[in-house]
Structure 1
Amino acid sequence: MNVTAKLSPDDLARACAESMWKDDQASQGLGMALVDIKCGQATLSMTIRPDMVNGHNIAHGGFIFTLADSAFAFACNSHNERAVAAQGSITFIRPGKLGDELIAAAREVSKSGRSGLYDVRVTAGDVVIAEFRGHSRTIGGTLVPAGPTDSDKTSTT
């Protein structure tokens, strides 16, 4: 029986996120949290700490990019096909501030063959602070093993 075939697309996405999250020291180390995961979508949060502000006393753009990139990663890996970023760009619209809880909401725009296109909106409350676009490429393999299939079972008679 193929275990992943019994999961709904959103349940499979959550299983993929759990598999990725357990080894994602970067996202965890920055205090990110998985808020919501669905097929082709991911929402992560991160609060801007004192060690994340720059000389202008605003959130360093690298941390905002990293939050968006992490949301992108969870969205593009939600189909149980291992995927990595091929390209990513960000437009900073407003500054994030010390203490802001940033929310990065990623959504799949298109997926064809090994390539995917994802948009990520980063907000602080109702204020959009950045827009990110990422291009993904699958690299082979899965995050959640399918489990044994009926053809894998051997008879013991």
Structure 2
Amino acid sequence: MPDDADDAAQVMFAADSASRSLGIELLGAADGRASARMRVTESMVNGHDIAHGGYLFLLADTAFACACNSHGPMTVASGAEISFVAAARLGEDLTAVAEERTSYGRNGIYDVTVYRESAAGRDVVAEFRGRSRTIAREGDTR
């Protein structure tokens, strides 16, 4: 585990072969916030010719994981839900921005907005809420 809490999310993401294999790029993570980007590829499009919701969830979950791990201690999801607002299409670049809303004890709540840029500005594609739990390490009595 790195000494610098801001590096913890970077180290975790570097070992995240699931997210990286999909081309997800971590744009930044610090102080309970993170942003990540992904391009919708042909293998991510479902039978309705739109991005499969599982990939949108994965992008949001990746930003969430980096945000809650930006504090330093190992943190995992204890639950999450997503609302799909608009369809994403082949070739679109999607950005997920995660922000900590509150933390209490070893728990946290984070909101993530997934959007695409358009001529009119940011078009929201999905809204995600994740609940986190810091994991006690060996010898930790918390």
Q: TM-score under structure 1 normalisation?
A: 0.81
Q: Is residue 107 from structure 1 mapped to residue 107 from structure 2 by the alignment?
A: no
Which letter maps to 1:84? V
CA RMSD of aligned residues (A): 1.2
Alpha-carbon shift at residue 112 of structure 1 (Å): 1.1
Q: 1:133 aligns with which of 123, 129, 135?
A: 129
- Secondary structure in 2 matching 1:26: helix
Q: 1:123 aligns with which of 103, 115, 123?
A: 115
Question: For 1:1-150, what aligned pairs fall within 5 Å after superposition?
Answer: 4=3, 12-13=5-6, 15-125=7-117, 126-141=122-137
- Secondary structure in 2 matching 1:54: coil
Give the match for residue 140 of structure 2: none
Query: Is the CA contact 2:51–2:90 (under 8 Å) kept in the aligned structure 1?
Result: yes
Alpha-carbon shift at residue 23 of structure 1 (Å): 1.1
- Secondary structure in 2 matching 1:95: coil
Alpha-carbon shift at residue 140 of structure 1 (Å): 2.1
- Secondary structure in 1 matching 2:71: coil
Q: TM-score under structure 2 normalisation?
A: 0.89
Which letter maps to 1:44? A
Kindly report structure 1 stretches of 4+ aligned residues shifted beyond 4 Å: none
CA distance in 2, matches of 1:38, 1:82: 14
Alpha-carbon shift at residue 22 of structure 1 (Å): 2.1
CA distance in 1, matches of 2:44, 2:33: 26
CA distance in 2, matches of 1:85, 1:23: 17
CA distance in 2, matches of 1:65, 1:123: 12
Query: Is the CA contact 2:9–2:72 (under 8 Å) kept in the aligned structure 1?
Result: no
1:30-78 Cα distance to aligned partner (Å, 9 max, x none): 1000112121000000000000000010000000000000100000111
CA distance in 2, matches of 1:96, 1:24: 24
- Secondary structure in 2 matching 1:69: helix
